Structure 1
Amino acid sequence: MKLDGNVALITGGTSGIGEACAGLFAEEGAQVAVVGSSDMSKAESVVARIKAAGGHAKPYVGDLSKVSEVSKVVAAVKSDFGSINILVNSAGVFYPTPVGETSEVDYDRLMDINMKGLFFCVQEVAPIMIAQGGGRIINLSSVAGVMALGGYSAYCSAKAGVNFMTRAFAQELAPKGIRVNAILPGNTATPMNEDIRTDPELRPMYDAMAASTPSGRTYSDAIDMARAALYLASDDSRAMHGALVVLDEGFSLGI
């Protein structure tokens, strides 16, 4: 098993890509800290499924837009497991932010969860990894960080920030034995974007995305992203530092 003996802390672990990572990492031998935002029952459900499949996991919740909550979650995971070898930053939110209609509250929430929380998760976990002799950090970004999406300027900005943060972290932490890389998903079927896939009023948006996807597969599956995360979390990718791995069915090829 690729991750036997490792402890993986996965934020956003109760749904979508984070949940897929939690399940796959456990299958590959990792002990998994499943971190949700507020609903402990969701984290417990994911953990129950992992345990039913023979894996090892524990549930946690915390509002990672607050630095104090980040500190509490990381401290709890370290106390329970004794180490943290892998950090997957998958917590995130996605919604439109039209320039003339977006409130300060909505703007701040998007930035705080997608970028600020990620920064402070790394800040809290990196010293633990350094003391252990190294670790792996995988950030879930988006192709929206490398291409413009009208009406989603705040989201694009946050993910562009994650991309450059990833590369800067990689340069800073590589000498200390920590590999930092990012996955840039394209359109991926998760609960966060279910409305685009099912709401008839949003059909024009779906059709436009389909027309821009060369593979003919408009939406990837969360497990596709989890398999890439597994590669980045394993020794198979030991030469990778600061990579931005695009997985988007070719959606961004036209930019």
Structure 2
Amino acid sequence: MKDKVALVTGSSSGIGREVAGALAAQGARVAVVASSERAKAEAVVNEIEAAGGIARPFVADISSANGATALVREVEAELGPIDLLVNSAGVYFPTPAGEVTEDAFDRMVAINLKGSFFTLNAVAPGMKARSAGRIVNIASVAGIAPNPEYSLYAATKAGIIALTRAIALELAPYGINVNAIAPGNTETPINADIRTAPEFAAQRARIDAITPSRRLFTPPAEIAAAIVFLLSDAARGMYGSVMVVDEGKSVGAPLRKFSMPTA
């Protein structure tokens, strides 16, 4: 990773924040991106620099094609050509059938799927010209083994998996590796209420019932370590792979017994 330029979207918190720190520790020059508040990106940059790494803060709304493209251009102007891309920006909220607004639909799809596509779309020409590059998209086990009431989130993450496989075929001849990681429940700020609040005790019990490892939430540092592997030369032969890190949830899916609602 020494001196490689890494763009990590959604890196002001959660998995993206861990990835940014891990890549900087490996010697990469990291673009840390917040969606709206530059101070959040600056806080991560300060942590990285205090540890001896190199990083720069950016703010971008990647839910639009123009926003994603402008981010890539800004990062390249400040840090140089992008060698590594991690599409980590995303949102997660329930979408029960019959209760979803069009605005909620558009927000989920724009950030989770559209943003990943157009950020990748913006870095691809430079990587093709240099015949080198590594891209990791953050999918989710929900794209493989979905949960009730999160159908739209599952659909966007299944779309990320399909996008990864298709783009990998397209870019492999140029020496560009495109892979994805599918985390399960991960210990991040986005699910702090589910992990700790008393009113979510029933949901935690349900997660416990479908988690073979008995560890309900994976530490984000472990997800970051897997992503760093996918970006490294050790994963040189991997194209279109989806690495699942989900405490065994998807493997155990056929064995689950759900209590189904009665008519």
Q: Could you tell me the TM-score, scaled by structure 1's length?
A: 0.98
Q: Name the SS of the counterpart of 2:250 in structure 1.
A: helix
User: 2-side partners of 1:199 and 1:145: how far apart?
Assistant: 26
Kept in 1: contact 2:212–2:252 (CA 8 A): no
Among 116, 119, 138, which residue is 1:118 paired with?
Answer: 116
CA-CA distance at 1:148 after TM superposition? 2.4
After superposition, the C-alpha distances for 1:78-102 in whole angstroms (9 at most, x for unaligned) are 1111210000000000000011111
Kept in 1: contact 2:19–2:224 (CA 8 A): yes
How do 1:1-255 residues align onto structure 2 when only pairs under 5 Å count?
3-255=1-253
| Ranges of 4+ aligned residues in structure 1 off by more than 2 Å | none
Q: Name the SS of the counterpart of 2:206 in structure 1.
A: helix
CA-CA distance at 1:254 after TM superposition? 2.1
User: 1-side partners of 2:38 and 2:235: how far apart?
Assistant: 33
RMSD: 0.7
After superposition, the C-alpha distances for 1:152-185 in whole angstroms (9 at most, x for unaligned) are 1100000000000000010000001110000000
User: 2-side partners of 1:5 and 1:19: how far apart?
Assistant: 19
Q: Give the paired residue count.
A: 253
Paired position in structure 1 for 2:260: none
After superposition, the C-alpha distances for 1:13-46 in whole angstroms (9 at most, x for unaligned) are 0000000000000000100001110110000000
After superposition, the C-alpha distances for 1:49-90 in whole angstroms (9 at most, x for unaligned) are 000000000000111001111111100011111210000000
Q: Could you tell me the TM-score, scaled by structure 2's length?
A: 0.95
User: 2-side partners of 1:228 and 1:194: how far apart?
Assistant: 22
Structure 1: which 5+ residue stretches go unaligned? none
User: 2-side partners of 1:195 and 1:252: how far apart?
Assistant: 23
Structure 2: which 5+ residue stretches go unaligned? 254-263
CA-CA distance at 1:11 after TM superposition? 0.1
CA-CA distance at 1:143 after TM superposition? 0.3
